[in-house]
Amino acid sequence: MEGLNLQKNKSEKYHNILTSAGAVFAEHGFYKATISQIAAQAGVADGTLYLYFKNKDDLLYQFISFKTEVVFEKMNTAVEKGKTAEEKLRNLICCHLKEFQNDKNMAIIFQSEVRYLRDIQSQIKDISKMYLDLLSDIIELGQIEGSMRHDLFVGLVKRYILGAVEGVIRTWVSADGRYDLVSMADPLVDLYLTGVRGR
């Protein structure tokens, strides 16, 4: 029983430190953030962080890994709820925007910090690949259904979609989250599906 409580406390402290690190990285930037600031935010001694993390880089790496796992689980669930390719695409984009809107610190770190840190570029490539694979499945389903063109260059289309979503999130972060990010989901999907050409 004592072991279970110890494990629970460790898990709670671990996630508290991760959350605190996210807040500090988002506010100060990765390079300016310090272990002392993160420890103070978490309400623990500096040395306590080293019981769970090797260093500041490891903290960022584990923050990204944890957030990615949580968000992708929700994205997969959202996609599975859709019956058609269009529904799956709408669910994916809506979930993506909702998760980032609900965790502004994560949005800031992914959009403003992560892209410029070479040490975790391979991790970012893995995240992008998972997202692009989801989009490939949706596009291929749309082609089977006949709701999406068969002459699409799938590699280009899925990168266009991901790039547009990231651009919308980046703009929202720059605007300090002053508007409803999720409200951009349907207009984005409508743009993907109908384009900008007049009839």
Residue 148 belongs to some domain of the structure? yes
- Whole-angstrom CA distances from 72 to 48, 96, 131, 133 are 29, 9, 8, 12
pLDDT of residue 187: 95
List, for residues 66-102, the tens digit of each pLDDT value. 898 899 999 999 999 999 999 999 999 999 999 999 9
pLDDT band at 8 (very low <50, low <70, confident <90, very high): very low
Say yes or no to pLDDT of 155 above 80. Answer: yes
Domain assignment present for 199: no
Mean pLDDT, rounded, for 186-196: 91
Q: Is the pLDDT of residue 156 over 90?
A: yes
Work out the mean pLDDT of the chain and round it to a whole number.
88
Provide the residue range defining the domain that includes 15. Answer: 1-53
Query: pLDDT for 9-57, tens place per residue?
Result: 558 899 999 999 999 999 999 889 999 999 999 999 999 999 999 999 8
Give the domain-ending residue among 53, 68, 94.
Answer: 53
- At 113, is the pLDDT very low, low, confident or very high (cuts 50, 70, 90)? low
- Residue 188's pLDDT band, with cuts at 50, 70 and 90, is very high
- For the ranges 61-65, 126-130, 142-146, which has the lowest average pLDDT? 126-130
* pLDDT score, position 1: 45
For residue 38, give the CATH number of its domain.
1.10.10.60
Please state the domain count of the chain: 2
Q: What is the pLDDT of residue 117?
A: 60
Of 38, 53, 68, which closes a domain?
Answer: 53
pLDDT > 80? residue 158:
yes
Q: Sorting pLDDT into bands at 50, 70 and 90, what band is 126?
A: confident
Q: What percent of the chain has pLDDT over 90?
A: 71
Shared domain for 39 and 107, answered yes or no, is no
